[in-house]
């Protein structure tokens, strides 16, 4: 064992500040591979994954379904056994743990699920208390910590309800409470918002971000929705066919998606060319036409509107805009229409890239 | 009309039936649930994988279930003598009844246990449950409504099977119906026994259904 803190339960640990707890919670994969063997043959789910997840960050793993992200997440608490390579939690190789070691490890790693996986025969309180009960924590301490945790996730007063009576968002809050009650250093989220409506998704993501900040725990989440990554992640890795195809800070991956898989995942977030413009767009200019220029911002510059007007040297109209701020970086694209006499080629210095996509008759507007 | 002696006889028979079915149903629960848990958890993908033992247990269960109760009643006589110390009477019928009901109930309980969402087992593992915690806190409580429903079926089946216990002189309602109703052509007794059995089975089914409904309503 390396310097991992003792399992939750001791008063000293209960009093530990979030500062102290930030020390634990790193995950590193070294050449990880997973092959499923069945009568139908071998299927490679993961190959040669090497990755470091830092303590206290929110790390996203995204990929299309079947990309292997779920298998990867499950190797962290060994619900899935890798066939090659290593997983280290705070430097400790978890492959060698016996049942007791594994139980201890899992008490340091919380997990929440797409379908919540709450026990229907137990009340909310009993569900949340279970990790402490099986760890042999004293009864009154359990009661106290369950109350604290239910308050943390905003479920005061719901303790004696059965899960079937709760909404999806409330069920996921119970799941989060159950995962947090052991005071883990790492929280694994398996498509935690995929079964929720957009509004509830936002509230759960806000809660996760809040927990990450207040408790300083590492969050590793998998999703197939780029919007989830954009909402809360610090760094992201894109998995395709069991391999890492892209990795980096979220703004970078959003700003400069290199791999086709990443671009495909980003597609639903992009509006593309507005339909009316697409209809009227011509390849060649006629007299009096506006030149339509697409300016892309990949996070290296902030759109400078004065500079834009100056560089264009003529009339500039904003036709469509889709720029957002991710981790303090401007990401997205804008379409501008330049009047006669403007110099489209000068716009290259305003944005990270600029290109003329066509010409439209300005008098139609 | 039923004579007072006959009413006494029916009362005694009802008590014998209740005793036979009650005790052997109790044994079926105590032995059948662990057997069902074993059949589920020792599966290749179970939490205590032991495929070879699993196959042996499965074959034994099938073997006992293949033998008709009336045959089992006779075939088990040496075993019954060993366990109950006698081969006639109520206690001699309890042994084969329990032996026949246990695998029956185990198979039904097994189905309910298998239907527990694997996601719940995964969640339990993720919060640091040991394997027996999973049996106690996940498998059994989650499968309980199905197990109780299965137990109801088992008890009703056993009430039927106990009618054959007269073959080893165990008495009971079925025995009265055969000896007085059939062999002495006493239709009144036959009808009375049938009426009592109907009420008994309805009561058991009602109790079982109510319990299941309560549990499912949570």
Residue contacts between A and B (CB atoms, under 8 Å): 69
Binary contact (A120, B129; C-beta < 8 A): no
Backbone angles phi, psi at A32, to 5 degrees: -75, 135
Closest Cβ opposite residue B126 in set A77, A121, A133:
A77
Closest Cβ opposite residue B128 in set A119, A134, A162:
A134
Closest Cβ opposite residue A117 in set B120, B133, B218:
B120
Cα distance between residue B109 and residue B154, in whole Å: 10
Do A347 and A291 sit in the same domain of this protein? yes
Binary contact (A119, B138; C-beta < 8 A): yes
What is the structure's pLDDT at A365?
A: 60
| Containing structural domain, residue A321 | 275-364
**What is the count of structural domains for chain A?**
2
Which residues make beta-bridge pairs with A60? A221, A236
What is the structure's pLDDT at A175?
A: 97
Do A223 and A353 sit in the same domain of this protein? no
Closest Cβ opposite residue A106 in set B119, B127, B218:
B127
Listing DSSP states for B127-185 in one string gives TT--HHHIIIIIIHHHHHHHHHHHHHHHHHHHHHHGGGGGGGT---HHHHIIIIIITT-
Cα distance between residue B128 and residue B4, in whole Å: 65
How close, in Å, is residue A161 to chain B by CA atoms?
A: 9
Binary contact (A179, B117; C-beta < 8 A): no
Cα distance between residue A53 and residue A50, in whole Å: 10
Parallel, antiparallel or unpaired: strands A289-298 and A243-249 = unpaired
CATH assignment at residue A349: 3.30.70.260
Cα distance between residue A78 and residue A97, in whole Å: 10
- Nearest residue of chain A to residue B133 (CA atoms): A134
How close, in Å, is residue A164 to chain B by CA atoms?
A: 7
Do A323 and A355 sit in the same domain of this protein? yes
Do A21 and A98 sit in the same domain of this protein? yes
Helix (H) or strand (E) run with residue A85 in it: strand A84-89
* End-to-end Cα spacing for chain B: 49
Among residues A240, A247, A205, the alpha carbon closest in space to that of A54 is found at: A247
Q: pLDDT tens digits, residue range A82-134?
A: 999 999 999 999 998 999 999 999 999 999 999 999 999 999 999 999 999 99
Q: pLDDT tens digits, residue range B85-144?
A: 888 888 889 999 999 999 999 999 999 999 999 999 999 999 999 999 999 999 999 999
pLDDT for A282 beyond 70: yes
What is the structure's pLDDT at A23?
A: 63
Mean pLDDT of the residues in chain A: 89
Domains of chain B: 4-216 (1.10.3720.10)
What is the structure's pLDDT at B57?
A: 96
Do A322 and A246 sit in the same domain of this protein? no
Mean pLDDT of B44-72: 94
Domain boundary among A241, A268, A295: A268
Cα distance between residue A279 and residue A328, in whole Å: 35
Listing DSSP states for B56-98 in one string gives HHHHHHHHHHHS-HHHHHHHTHHHHHHHHS-SSSHHHHHHHHH
Domain boundary among A268, A295, A319: A268
Q: pLDDT tens digits, residue range A295-322?
A: 999 999 888 989 898 888 888 999 999 9
Backbone angles phi, psi at B24, to 5 degrees: -70, -30
Give the torsion through C-alpha atoms of B39, B40, B43, B46, to 10 deg: -150
Cα distance between residue B145 and residue B209, in whole Å: 9
Residues of A in contact with B214 (CB under 8 A): none
What is the structure's pLDDT at B28?
A: 97
Do A312 and A209 sit in the same domain of this protein? no
Cα distance between residue A49 and residue A83, in whole Å: 12
Do A320 and A263 sit in the same domain of this protein? no
Do A197 and A293 sit in the same domain of this protein? no
How close, in Å, is residue B60 to chain A by CA atoms?
A: 28
Cα distance between residue A96 and residue A1, in whole Å: 11
Q: pLDDT tens digits, residue range A196-218?
A: 999 999 999 999 999 999 999 99
Tell me the ipTM for this assembly.
0.89
Report the interhelical angle of B140-161 vs B4-41 (nearest 10°).
Answer: 140
Instruction: Please state, in angstroms and as integers, the Cα–Cα distance from residue A104 to each residue in A107, A131, A144, A175, B125, following that order.
Output: 5, 11, 22, 20, 11
Query: DSSP 3-state assignment of A237?
Result: strand
How close, in Å, is residue B93 to chain A by CA atoms?
A: 37
Q: What angle do CA B61, B65, B69 make, to 5 degrees?
A: 140
Do A293 and A329 sit in the same domain of this protein? yes
């Amino acid at each position: 064992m390396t310097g991992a803190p003792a399992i939750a339960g001791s008063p000293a640990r209960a009093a530990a500040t979030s500062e102290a707890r930030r020390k634990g919670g790193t995950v590193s994969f070294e050449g990880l591979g997973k092959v499923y063997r069945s009568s139908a043959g071998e299927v490679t789910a993961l190959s040669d994954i090497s990755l470091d997840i830092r303590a206290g960050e929110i790390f996203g793993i995204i990929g299309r379904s079947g990309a292997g992200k779920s298998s990867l997440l499950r190797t962290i608490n060994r619900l899935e056994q890798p066939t090659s390579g290593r997983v280290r939690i705070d430097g400790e190789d978890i492959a060698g743990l016996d049942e007791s070691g594994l139980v201890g490890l899992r008490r340091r790693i919380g997990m929440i699920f797409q379908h919540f996986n709450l026990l229907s025969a137990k009340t909310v309180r009993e569900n949340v208390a279970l990790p402490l009960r099986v760890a042999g924590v004293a009864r009154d301490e359990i009661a106290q910590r369950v109350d604290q945790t239910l308050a943390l996730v905003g479920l005061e007063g719901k303790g004696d309800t059965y899960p079937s009576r709760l909404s999806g968002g409330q069920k996921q809050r119970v799941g989060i409470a159950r995962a947090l009650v052991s005071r883990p250093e790492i929280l694994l989220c398996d498509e935690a918002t995929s079964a929720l409506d957009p509004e509830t998704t936002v509230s759960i993501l806000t809660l996760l971000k809040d927990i990450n900040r207040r408790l300083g725990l590492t969050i590793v989440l998998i999703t197939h929705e780029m919007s989830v990554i954009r909402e809360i992640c610090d760094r992201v890795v894109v998995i395709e066919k069991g391999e890492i195809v892209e990795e980096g800070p979220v703004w970078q991956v959003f700003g400069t998606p290199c791999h086709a898989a990443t671009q495909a995942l980003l597609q639903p977030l992009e509006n593309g060319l507005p339909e009316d413009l697409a209809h009227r767009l011509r390849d060649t200019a006629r007299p009096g036409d506006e030149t339509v220029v697409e300016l892309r911002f990949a996070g290296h510059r902030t759109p400078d509107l004065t500079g834009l007007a100056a560089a264009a040297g003529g009339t500039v109209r904003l036709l469509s805009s889709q720029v957002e701020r991710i981790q303090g970086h401007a990401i997205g694209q804008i379409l501008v229409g330049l009047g006669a006499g403007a110099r489209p080629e000068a716009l290259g210095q305003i944005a990270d890239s600029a290109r003329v996509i066509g010409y439209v008759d300005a008098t139609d507007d | 009309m039923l004579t007072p002696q006959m009413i006494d006889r029916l009362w005694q028979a009802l008590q014998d039936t209740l005793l036979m079915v009650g005790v052997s149903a109790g044994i079926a629960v105590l032995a059948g649930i662990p057997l069902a848990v074993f059949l589920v958890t020792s599966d290749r993908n179970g939490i205590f994988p032991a495929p070879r033992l699993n196959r042996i247990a499965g074959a034994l269960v099938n073997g006992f279930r293949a033998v008709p109760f009336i045959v089992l009643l006779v075939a088990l006589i040496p075993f019954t003598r060993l366990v109950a110390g006698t081969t006639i009477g109520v206690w001699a019928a309890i042994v084969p009844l329990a032996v026949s009901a246990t695998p029956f109930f185990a198979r039904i309980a097994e189905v309910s246990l298998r239907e527990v969402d694997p996601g719940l087992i995964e969640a339990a593992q993720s919060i640091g449950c040991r394997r027996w915690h999973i049996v106690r806190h996940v498998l059994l409580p989650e499968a309980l409504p199905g197990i109780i429903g299965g137990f109801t079926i088992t008890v009703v089946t056993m009430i039927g099977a106990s009618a054959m216990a007269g073959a080893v002189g165990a008495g009971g309602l079925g025995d009265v119906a055969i000896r007085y109703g059939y062999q002495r052509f006493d239709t009144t007794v036959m009808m009375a026994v049938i009426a009592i059995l109907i009420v008994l089975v309805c009561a058991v089914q009602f109790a079982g259904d109510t319990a299941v409904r309560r549990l499912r309503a949570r």
